[in-house]
Structure 1
């Protein structure tokens, strides 16, 4: 099993990859579990879409679970979750240093008359 890319293209290998990614392991930790170097994993992800997709799907599942938990906590009154949600979802209004509002101003045409000794030039 270890170190052979063929195994990781199999259904069993892909289920393991998805599970590790879903559990929150980094690519470096996953590579260690696979008994390969991180650089080999990066090469395999580029070369074999099955490996890349398995990892992506596992990470997406974990992200959705965390997003749902954050949303639930925010709705239940957890102010930290509410602040985090608003700072990320409504950045323009809730970030720590909001951008100053820019008012559109119309430029008025200014006419300057140049004179010399009381005569227009």
Structure 2
């Protein structure tokens, strides 16, 4: 009986909200928070993810979109970008269809602004995308041999102790 209730709850509480679930994932809600918003237990929600591919797909799509948006924003901060700042002011105009006076917003000024690259974003990007070249710790290999001239080599423990005592 409980299996039937669970299936019914998926079809009544979850399936109709797949698009909303995708949006919640995009907005950064955890699966626990999503389950709570849907009115199902988190353990049940996890079962639904395994049982219903449409739910898993909605979660993945939402998370993917959010990840891409953040990656794009980080990249823009790392390399700098330009944007247009637009100023609009209200003006009175006559609506051609009704002949009445209406208020409309009219662009009065447009200025292209530039945001300089941000060093921290560039470093973060490079360390994660090109760790072979940008990690803090560089691995340096060595091949061959190292010759060490040790004048104490070959002495016994007793001979070394005598040298220490006699100083």
25, 30, 36: which is aligned to 2:34?
30
Whether 1:47 aligns to 2:58 is no
Name 2:11's counterpart in structure 1: 6
Render the CA deviation track for 1:19-63: whole Å, top value 9, x for unaligned. Answer: 100111111111111111221111110110000000100110111
Name 1:83's counterpart in structure 2: 123
- The alpha carbon displacement at 1:103 in A equals 4.8
- Give the Cα separation in 2 of the matches to 1:101 and 1:33: 52
More strand by share: 2
Count matched residues. Answer: 101
58, 65, 70: which is aligned to 2:69?
65
- The alpha carbon displacement at 1:9 in A equals 2.4
Q: 5+ residue gaps in structure 2?
A: 1-7, 81-116, 145-167
- Give the Cα separation in 1 of the matches to 2:24 and 2:126: 30
Runs in 1 of length 4+ with deviation above 3 angstroms?
none
Name the SS for the 1:96 alignment partner.
Answer: coil
- Give the Cα separation in 1 of the matches to 2:132 and 2:51: 40
- Give the Cα separation in 2 of the matches to 1:6 and 1:71: 40
Structure of greater Rg: 2
Render the CA deviation track for 1:42-95: whole Å, top value 9, x for unaligned. Answer: 111011000000010011011110010000000111111101100100111212
- Give the Cα separation in 1 of the matches to 2:134 and 2:62: 31
Name the SS for the 2:40 alignment partner.
Answer: coil
- Give the Cα separation in 1 of the matches to 2:76 and 2:39: 38
